Structure 1
Amino acid sequence: MKEKRMKRIIDEYIKAYNEFNIEGMLRNVHEDVELKNTTNGEVNVQLKGIDILKKQAEQAVSLFEKREIKIVEQVINGDTVENKINFKGVIGMDFPDGPKTGELIKLEGKSIFQFEKGKIILIEDVR
């Protein structure tokens, strides 16, 4: 797959994510997509399949009033794209023993996208 196309698909995915546009996020996602979230070396979320990803994305909408991912660096290796990212979001609900509605959170990390047959087959967020 061409690098330019992979970059465009990732840009479209992130734009849709930032706009809470779930259908836009899923437009270029493979039906067997895997989502992984790793924090401090431990996998704390692992989902497989576009329907499960859609359900998780719909549930996540209420967590933030605003959210934004910005890519600050991008490295392409074959069908895998590693993106160093900055995330900021305004919390949309109170969390027990955690952030409260209206609080701003900022995170740095990376998001790895892997492609198969022109679609995103893996999304791995690492913090």
Structure 2
Amino acid sequence: MISEKNKEIIENYIEAYNSFDLEGMVKLLHKDILFRNFSNGTMDTETRGIQEFGELAEKSSKIFSSRHQTITQYHAEGDTTEILIDYEAILAVDLPNGLKLGDKIQLKGKSVFGIHEGQISLIEDYS
């Protein structure tokens, strides 16, 4: 069962993410945050530490004119919490994969959060 404190930390992070509040996201992170993104079963991005994460978050925020993650389910497993999400975003730029400015992206995914000393120490996103 997920603790109320961990649930609050995760929800605050998602709220900051949805509103492009990079400072709000970073303040919830452990200094040694490990972030990984997996797409179609392959890890395509990894950052270690707040500086690398902040740089990626800044770059990523410029790709979308809007973005919204909705948590649909929580599952605690040991020292991690998995959330299932519905994700929707509108592109602010053309992408090399053929998606264009204004295109809408919708997908379902999951994120795994590790929380250490009251801060997020691990985020793994799967889509």
Tell me the CA shift for residue 97 of structure 1: 3.8
Displacement, 1:77?
2.2
Query: Which residue in the other structure is 1:112 paired with?
Result: 112
Identity of aligned residues (%): 37
Q: Which runs of 5+ in 2 are unaligned?
A: none
Distance verdict in 2 for CA 1:66–1:117, change over 3 Å: same
Alignment of 1:28-107 (within 5 A): 28-107=28-107
Offset, 1:36: 0.3
Q: Cα RMSD between the aligned structures?
A: 1.1
Determine the C-alpha separation between the residues in 2 that align with 1:87 and 1:48.
24
**What CA deviation, in whole Å up to 9, does each residue of 1:65-91 have, x standing for no partner?**
000000001111232110010100000
Residue 5 of structure 1 and its aligned partner are, at CA, apart by 0.5
SS, match of residue 62 in structure 2: helix
Which stretches of structure 1, 4 residues or more, deviate above 4 A after TM superposition?
none
Aligned to 2:6: 6
Query: Aligned to 2:120, what secondary structure does the other structure show?
Result: strand
C-alpha deviation, 1:61, in angstroms: 1.2
Question: 1:41 deviation in Å?
Answer: 1.7
Normalized against structure 2, the TM-score is what? 0.95
Q: How many residues align?
A: 126
TM, length-normalised to structure 1? 0.95
